[in-house]
Structure 1
Amino acid sequence: MSTYMVRKQTFHLRLLFLFLSTFLLLETVRVPAPVSAASANAPSAVCGPGCNRYDVVVIGSEIEGVLLAKEAHAAGLSVLILDPREKPGGELIQGQMLVLDEPNDNRKRSLVQGELKPLYDGYKAGNIRKLSAFESYYRKLIRGIPLRSGITIDGVEIEDADGQGKVQGKTLKSVTYLAKDGKLYQVQAGYFVENTDFNALTVHLGNKRIPGMESLYNGKKPDYMAATYMLRFKGVNWNKLHQAVLEDYPLTNVVKKYGANTYVDWDFATGFSNLTYNYKPRDSRLMLRGLNATYQKDGEVIINSLLVYDVDPADPKSVRSAVARAKAEAPYIAKYLRKHIPGFGKAELNGYPDYLYIRDYNRYETDYVVNYKDVMSGRMFWDNVTIGGYAVDLQATRVVKKGVGYGKPDRYGIPLRSFELKSYDNVLVAGKNVGAEIKAYGSARIIPTTALAGETMGILLAREWKQGHKRLSELTPGDFRRIHQYLKKDYGIRIDQ
């Protein structure tokens, strides 16, 4: 090879080396590209074969925990919802619990706040009454959040938070679950959230059960408020129902004829217990209590009245059996209402929900368990995450035949500690899993109360834990004075009084 060719080749090799060196140098100092919403909410790490790590993993798709997931997701945290039910939506969508109860204080001021307020405003205005409108609202909440339905928790991995073998201070490191494809998967998370109506997660974590309805009468076995199967009708003449009750006024006559708490306006109806309690179900595990009905427009009505005893929401066979029994009874109830309730003369059944409204099941100890005195005294906590005010309403069981009320509180607070599972530094509970003694639970269980707590906790996970690098259990009274200020300023949520 000529001297010229050797020099030329050497020159080209030097150019190539210079190019590669410059490229590698640029790679090491490159400014990271802006993180997209999709990548921000993707799993934050792979933790082994078949394992992903997220900031927050929510077990169950009840609306209370979904609101937590929504806030965390919107702030850029990686969030995953694992739902043991076959379809998402829980009691609100699958159970069609579309009769919304509203907490208020003793001055009749609504306590509904946050993301749930548009739902309640639409409901009261008549714009959100039918299932399709509720489904549209719910879809917006879960938009963009990864959700996997039909899973079964197979196991959990727990470790000591301090690594020193102490009984107190545990961390839930991972959850292994069986998916519909028959394969096992593992997820790790900074925080796990129990958001089912049957403790799909917390049943594995070893905490003590908070006594239920049996504590009211010193029962030896756990007892739970009855579930409800929602009844849907079409062809109802609501104007006739309304007019019939108006014609029976004064109120003393209405109560004498139809029973206590009978009331009808252009949108809602309650009571008629003198008639409903005379209905004799064909199945002893069912009872028709007083009506709690919402007019959905166009002659359609949905009623929260058919109680179902002995439902174990943790047992799919028990749930299927309860739904089947309620469906079988529904045509007989329709016939009875046609005969006895004004405006129902031509009413027909209008479809069936796939699931139940579960009021009550096992709840496990949290760092603070709210009691009846807290509720009735209007106690406010330094770490309030929600405000309640609904009447203490405990529904029927086989023993407590017609349910019982224990008064109407003014506004009261529920602390973050009542949503932090005792002994765990990274497990939160949502919705009906709130830590409350049974009488306090009769008020605290209402969706708007625990939904606001879920939303607040989602905000705290983003701003205090992920951004502030502080576990929620480490937050101080000073922190919460600051937190309550920005919740009011930035989110319109007032929970400090």
Structure 2
Amino acid sequence: MAAHPPDVAYDVVVYGATMPGIAAVRSLRAAADGPSVLVVNPQREVGGIGCAGAQNFWDVRAWSPDGQSSLPQGGSFRRWYRTQGQAYDVDRMAATLRRELDRADADVRSFHDITDVTIENGRIDSAVLVPLERSDGETTAGESGVRVDADVFVDASESGRLARLADVPLTVGRADWGPDDRQMAASLMVLVEDVDWDRIRDATDAAGDPVYGTTVDPVEDKRLFWGGEQSVTADAITEFRDAFPRMDLKAMNAAEQADGQFWINSLLLYDVDGRYDARERRRLSGGPDRTPWDRDRAYERAVAAIEDSRFRAALRAFPGFGEAAPVRDESGSPRVGTELYLRETVHARDDRGFAVERRHVETAGEGPETGGDRELYEERIGLGYYWLDNNGYARTGPGNNGALKPADNPVYVPYGALTIDRRPNLLVPGYAARVSSQAWFELRVLPNLCVLGDGAGAAAAVALDGDADPAAFDGEMIDELQDRLREDCDAVLDKRTVRERASAPQAHD
């Protein structure tokens, strides 16, 4: 019996209404009949970095082993990608995700957070849930709390807070390979208008090569572009960098929101500790030569930088942005993501080490009998694929990128990436997944996180039906999990399946 009886009980508590969190709820409902689910959302909007953070550009990479291309990820990602395209309206996507939660009959508590957990016999027994408030740009917690009991807990958050409160062994940022515990650069997405699309499409550099890559998504007829690295040494950008030494402007990634307005991913913020907001600012530590920013402080300073005239001048240094300016909301403030786009926070690492390491993603094979990931095949829950991309840890300095070779093939994503021996009833499909920092360069993008989310939801279903903790699955339960993922969740577990889909007519890939 728990030391503190719960005020309310659920079968499953999902922490984080992120895309992997909602994928977990969706696959749980598909694979099980009627479990009660609570979704604790520490953000005010659903969708995590993909909606609240306004990162409306699915980072995808098609795999072409036989000359025909297809995306390796299935499940929730494939559903959302095919219905809304690679570029999507964040408001419409958020509405879609809310409908997913409604269909799953999940109880959702937005702008609430977990402040404490109770551990009984190594398992998470209950969690204390409180409402959040925001005043003067800083997050505070309400005083009244509710104790919630559950059989299975899922940390699908970007902060890894539930895993941290449960005393899961974690590494921070690049601490497992780099000189310190810095996390990848964060971004604040900005909605801009008056972008000259013709100039974007036709701009060339001094050698006559295109400045940008461009495409028009066939699903929603939205425009996307990327590039512009030739401009990052322009005088106006140098002036901005000198004025804001913790920030930078990188080459553009941009996707159309609506009516010629584009969300741009260019403004980088360095040395942000995404684990914390103002409530735990006292925990920040970076050594004598650096003081990280918490999420609240970084967000407010980024908004202030966007309001500075030097930001507009720097923005207009990019071809096609000569008249561009941030879109203003009804209050006259620039429209930006309501949350930072975080790329990294923590990585679970128990006595077994990481489930996915650099060697697995760098040397992934074309099938189950080749490549460094062949040892992950038996417990695979899906496929992950992207470039080994990290956007840096500091504006300058050695060791910023880790010098990794791009992966040629998708990696088998193993079930072990979701489980923690120390907390056997916890699943971690969010940023706290048991993935090394360098392997995270590939797996961190949303299509791959949705694969983890689908796996966590189906695993919760198997755990409930089998009255077993997720970390205690035997071979038969792994087989059952894989069957449910294929049959109930439309997951892709085999590279052969990707080839077969590539050779068939595709609605949109």
TM class, shorter-length: 0.7 to 0.9
Query: How far apart in 2 are the matches of 1:376 and 1:403?
Result: 15
Structure 1 counterpart of 2:97: 138
Match of 2:213 among 240, 263, 279: 263
C-alpha contact 2:347 2:436 (8 A) present in aligned 1? no
Structure 2 counterpart of 1:236: 195
- Residue 377 in 1 paired to residue 377 in 2? no
C-alpha contact 1:431 1:451 (8 A) present in aligned 2? no
Query: Any unmatched runs of 5+ in structure 1?
Result: 1-44, 161-169
Query: How far apart in 2 are the matches of 1:109 and 1:446?
Result: 17
**Alpha-carbon distance, 1:48 to partner:** 7.4
Structure 2 counterpart of 1:300: 261
- Percent identity between matched residues is 22
Match of 2:303 among 315, 324, 327: 327
C-alpha contact 1:61 1:196 (8 A) present in aligned 2? yes
C-alpha contact 1:102 1:111 (8 A) present in aligned 2? no
**Alpha-carbon distance, 1:360 to partner:** 0.7
**Alpha-carbon distance, 1:56 to partner:** 0.4
C-alpha spacing 1:477/1:263, structure 2 compared with 1 (3 Å): same
Query: How far apart in 2 are the matches of 1:67 and 1:253?
Result: 44
3-state SS, counterpart of residue 448 of structure 2: helix
Q: Give the letter aligned to residue 64 of structure 1.
A: P
Q: Give the letter aligned to residue 35 of structure 2.
A: L
Q: TM-score, normalised by structure 2?
A: 0.77
**Alpha-carbon distance, 1:150 to partner:** 3.1
Query: How far apart in 1 are the matches of 2:314 and 2:423?
Result: 51
Q: Say which is worse superposed, 82-91 or 355-364, in terms of deviation.
A: 82-91
Structure 2 counterpart of 1:494: 492
- Residue 360 in 1 paired to residue 338 in 2? no
3-state SS, counterpart of residue 183 of structure 1: coil
Which protein has the larger Cα radius of gyration, Structure 1 or Structure 2? 1
**Alpha-carbon distance, 1:87 to partner:** 4.0
3-state SS, counterpart of residue 182 of structure 1: coil
**Alpha-carbon distance, 1:326 to partner:** 1.6
Per-residue displacement from partner, 1:211-263 (whole Å, max 9, x unpaired)? 6324444x2x3111011111211122212310234xx69xx5327xx5xxx42
**Alpha-carbon distance, 1:457 to partner:** 2.3
Per-residue displacement from partner, 1:457-497 (whole Å, max 9, x unpaired)? 212322x2223334333333344345434533443322144
**Alpha-carbon distance, 1:287 to partner:** 0.7
C-alpha spacing 1:324/1:482, structure 2 compared with 1 (3 Å): closer
| Higher RCO (C-alpha 8 Å, min separation 6) | 2
Structure 2 counterpart of 1:443: 442
Map 1:22-61 → 2, pairs under 5 A: 51-61=7-17
Query: How far apart in 2 are the matches of 1:352 and 1:69?
Result: 28
3-state SS, counterpart of residue 161 of structure 2: coil
C-alpha contact 1:283 1:325 (8 A) present in aligned 2? no
C-alpha spacing 1:398/1:140, structure 2 compared with 1 (3 Å): same
3-state SS, counterpart of residue 58 of structure 1: strand
C-alpha contact 1:391 1:406 (8 A) present in aligned 2? no
3-state SS, counterpart of residue 264 of structure 2: strand
Structure 2 counterpart of 1:17: none
Per-residue displacement from partner, 1:170-217 (whole Å, max 9, x unpaired)? 211111233356312111111111122222211122233236324444
Query: How far apart in 2 are the matches of 1:84 and 1:59?
Result: 8
Query: Any unmatched runs of 5+ in structure 2?
Result: 133-141, 217-222, 279-293, 328-334, 365-372, 496-509
**Alpha-carbon distance, 1:60 to partner:** 1.9
Match of 2:324 among 347, 361, 364: 347
Q: Say which is worse superposed, 99-108 or 450-459, in terms of deviation.
A: 99-108
Query: How far apart in 1 are the matches of 2:83 and 2:112?
Result: 33
Root-mean-square deviation over aligned CA pairs:
2.7
3-state SS, counterpart of residue 378 of structure 2: coil
Structure 1 counterpart of 2:144: 183
Q: Give the letter aligned to residue 174 of structure 2.
A: M
**Alpha-carbon distance, 1:116 to partner:** 1.8
C-alpha contact 2:46 2:97 (8 A) present in aligned 1? no
Structure 2 counterpart of 1:121: 82
Q: Say which is worse superposed, 295-304 or 418-427, in terms of deviation.
A: 295-304
Match of 1:484 among 474, 482, 485: 482
Map 1:14-163 → 2, pairs under 5 A: 51-73=7-29, 75-107=33-65, 108-124=69-85, 129-143=88-102, 144-160=105-121
Map 1:456-495 → 2, pairs under 5 A: 456-462=455-461, 464-495=462-493
Q: Give the letter aligned to residue 146 of structure 2.
A: Y
Structure 2 counterpart of 1:412: 411
Structure 1 counterpart of 2:135: none
**Alpha-carbon distance, 1:95 to partner:** 1.2
Per-residue displacement from partner, 1:50-90 (whole Å, max 9, x unpaired)? 62121101122211112112332453111001223344432
3-state SS, counterpart of residue 273 of structure 2: coil
Per-residue displacement from partner, 1:311-353 (whole Å, max 9, x unpaired)? 2223323322222222222253333333x33332222211222
Structure 2 counterpart of 1:337: 315
C-alpha contact 1:207 1:422 (8 A) present in aligned 2? no
**Alpha-carbon distance, 1:283 to partner:** 1.2
**Alpha-carbon distance, 1:105 to partner:** 2.8
Query: How far apart in 2 are the matches of 1:211 and 1:201?
Result: 15
